[in-house]
Amino acid sequence: MLFEEISLTPQDILDKEFKIDTRGFRPQEVDKFLDIVIADYTKFISLVKRLDSEKKELIEENIRLKQELRENKEKIELLKNTSGKEMTNVDMLRRISMLEKVVFGDKNNY
């Protein structure tokens, strides 16, 4: 994971102390700068965690959609492979129904 590759935590940055020699930096300036670095670092970690969570959700959705696509392709193939006889039977039943209405009359007209 990404966090295993990161060397410092915000707390490591906060706890870091620098040695001061005769020409050292002003401690207040260093502390102010490190506060900015800590804030950015904290935001970075939060962003990475959020994006990692979104990535996992998208991977799960992608797996689900691929499964759904596979199932739909199987259904299409099954429909393509059904014999014309079954389709003809459906057509014949519709025609018979229409003929019965013509021959015997539509009961709704009475």
pLDDT recorded at residue 110: 46
Give me 69's structure tokens. 């696509």
Give me 5's structure tokens. 């590759």
Scanning the chain, the segments in alpha helix (DSSP H) are 2-5, 10-15, 27-81, 84-104
pLDDT recorded at residue 75: 84
Alpha-carbon dihedral sign for residues 78, 83, 85, 91: positive
pLDDT recorded at residue 10: 82
pLDDT averages per 10-residue partition of the chain, 110 residues: 70 80 78 86 90 96 94 83 64 83 68
**DSSP SS3 for 25:** coil
pLDDT recorded at residue 3: 63
pLDDT recorded at residue 54: 97
pTM of the entire structure?
Answer: 0.52
